[in-house]
Amino acid sequence: MGLITKNVRAFLFGLLLFIIEGCIIEFGFLCTNLPVRIIFGVLCLVLTATGLIFFYLASSILSSIDPLVQDLQRLMGRKILERMAKSGFAKLETSCQKYQETQDAFLTNLIAQNKDTAYGRQYEFDSIRSVEDFQSKHPVTEYIHFKPFVERVAKGEEMVLVNSRPVMIALTSGTTGESKMFLRTASRRKNFFQNFVLMFEILKRNSCSWNCLQKTATSYTHFPEKYTEGGIPLGPSSMFLKMTKQTVSSYQSPLAAFRLLDQTHSLYVHTLFALRDRNLGGMGGNFISMVLKIFETMEMKWELLVKDINGGTLNQGLDIPVDVRRDLEKELYPLPVRASELEAEFKKGFHGIAKRIWPHMEILLGVTGGSMEIYLQRLSKKYTEDILAYSSFLICTEGFLGINLWPKAKGNPKYVLCPNVLFFEFIPLSESAEEDPKVLLAESLEVGQSYLILLTNTEGLYRYRLDDVYKVVDFWHQAPVVEFEYRIGEMFNICGKKFSETVVRESILSAVGSLQCSTEFVDYACCEGLVYQEVKACHIIFNIVLLIFHNLDLEDTINAKLTELTIAEGFPDRSIGGKFHLVLVQTSSFESLLNLILSTSNAGPAQVKVPRKLRKAEWVKLLLNFEIV
């Protein structure tokens, strides 16, 4: 009823404005004073435009709980963003039609901007006139090369790597090795926003029906602010985007929810506010696994959530800071009809629950490729069914790499490498272990081949080698289109041969898919035999796979699939098969692992995901504590 009432109210406002306009027109015909008639004419134009806006609102899917004035504000803001997106997409297309030319100009401008920094003087930036000069004067680098320079910036020294003071220093999680620090400048924030809004144009061009007036739910958890010795904010990349009333206006959760530091509490609060709005349009997180957590929170705590929605309360069992709780409770009021509707649907079960409680939900946002594939499968199989999952951007702590122009494409997401925010070079995967590998520009890449990326950004990284492997699958105009394959650091050594996490994952997924039963595959992680030996104090010659099933032995099936895939990879040695040993662990074990990683690293909740390769004995030991014997 709330939707009907608000839409009817918008229609009546529009109708009233046209009635007033009619009266003014009639009075204007009777008026002989020219200035007055001009004023009446302008007023009629304003009334016509405003009336049409209200008619547009009347025909749209609106938030079921926000006042109409907020819908009007959101409409104005979103239309501005859509105009920016249309213009930005045209610029992106133009730059991709002249990809290398755009790249060369980007590099030239960047070198000129930073030639007077300490780093620029050391590497003679003032003498660099071309890409060839840059490649000859500057080495290929890794983090150890930049670490002392970043440490100087952290202590407060200026003009070291960039010509402006950074707005923050971003920390990597440190879950795959040493935690690293990277600068964040104001230009990065501007570039991110300009590329982020392109999503609206991309969805429109692909006929995605996400309504611009619908709100989205989020899984955001805040991170306590820290500062370097020089007074620069320090934390995960998610801190880089400042949360204000304006920046969170498209989310269903109020600003206070973005101050919560505990992930369990933040998930409950975000889920509570999402459930209140029947007309929610989307849901998102850094990774699709975070969207899955919202639905799992809903399933586990639906009775408490329904109680809070019915009473307009916030569960007193949540240990939330007093000031945050006060601000959250200001946004809550009883919704007994909505609570009854939700309770009835929850009692029917949670299969396909998304469309039953949010009939107008159209999109899920978050990284879906690589190791996130298993979470997307679980999410769609149980909760969301055919709702579109869109992995919109290719982003890492080091930079904004690319954008996905094909939201409806099946399979691993593919991204256009944007030419105007980073300078790209590429090392063929076949030469990645060489001391002096061949380095290519985008124009020399081949479809079907895999490469490592060297990036140069606006924040002090030059020819920086990423350890991610990408396959070129196409070109969009002259821009490479890539798929993420795997991380070099996630390779497994099986019988002296190196295999990517992708091969291991596909073996497991293929084995699960071959089963004719309803067993749910929840999660997995692997460790090499030497790590397992350290924990169990025994000698083994196999890899260990930790999985969650319902008391199901897949060991033989996984080993058979692994053998098939490794032969396909070009290794005919069938002795590789049989090197997996399966251990079943309880459902809660991986959540405990994530909590351990959060407590012992610099990671924020938005950064942490289950490591597929267990490097640390303590991680393996923790999981084995949950073994199902």
93 φ, ψ to 5°?
-65, -40
- Checking phi first, is residue 570 left (phi over 0); if not, alpha (psi -120 to 50) or beta? left
Short-list 452, 401, 425, CA closest to 135? 425
Assess whether pLDDT exceeds 70 at residue 545.
Answer: no
What is the Cα–Cα distance from 269 to 287, expressed in whole angstroms? 19
Cα distances from 303 to residues 122, 276, 299, 347, in angstroms, run 63, 14, 9, 10
137: CB partners within 8 A, 6+ apart: 123, 124, 127, 128
For 595-613, the pLDDT digits (tens) are 888 888 777 777 788 888 8
What is the Cα–Cα distance from 287 to 373, expressed in whole angstroms? 10
The count of other CB atoms within 10 Å of the CB of residue 523 is: 20
Short-list 76, 79, 75, CA closest to 61? 75
Q: Which pair of structure tokens corresponds to residue 563?
A: 């053998």
466: CB partners within 8 A, 6+ apart: 396, 398, 452, 453, 454, 455
- Percentage above 90 pLDDT, the chain: 49
330 φ, ψ to 5°?
-65, -25
Q: Which pair of structure tokens corresponds to residue 507?
A: 């073996």
Q: Is 31 helix (H, G, I), strand (E, B) or coil?
A: coil
Assess whether pLDDT exceeds 80 at residue 555.
Answer: no
pTM of the model: 0.88
Query: What single-letter amino acid sits at 451?
Result: Y
Query: Quick one: which H or E segment has residue 547?
Result: strand 543-547
Short-list 474, 472, 470, 504, CA closest to 484? 470
Tokens 């809903």, residue? 298
Short-list 107, 98, 97, 94, CA closest to 425? 107
Rg of the chain taking only CA atoms, in angstroms: 27
Question: Which pLDDT score is estimated for 403?
Answer: 97
Question: Which pLDDT score is estimated for 518?
Answer: 58
CA atoms within 13 A on the CB side of 420: 17
Cα distances from 615 to residues 229, 529, 530, in angstroms, run 31, 11, 10
Mean pLDDT of 231-250: 77
Assess whether pLDDT exceeds 70 at residue 417.
Answer: yes
Could you tell me whether strands 282-287 and 233-235 are parallel, antiparallel, or unpaired per DSSP bridges?
unpaired
What is the Cα–Cα distance from 346 to 332, expressed in whole angstroms? 21
Q: Which pair of structure tokens corresponds to residue 31?
A: 């008026």
Short-list 515, 536, 537, CA closest to 583? 536
Assess whether pLDDT exceeds 70 at residue 558.
Answer: no
Assess whether pLDDT exceeds 90 at residue 408.
Answer: yes
Question: Which pLDDT score is estimated for 3?
Answer: 47
Query: What single-letter amino acid sits at 319?
Result: D
Mean pLDDT of 142-151: 95
Q: For 281-318, give the DSSP string.
A: -EEEEEEHHHHHHHHHHHHHHHHHHHHHHHHT---TTS
Question: Which pLDDT score is estimated for 245?
Answer: 72
For 100-136, the pLDDT digits (tens) are 999 999 999 999 999 999 999 999 999 999 999 999 9
CB of 14 within 8 A of CB of 51? yes
Task: For the chain, give percent helix, strand, coil, nearest 5.
Answer: 50, 15, 35
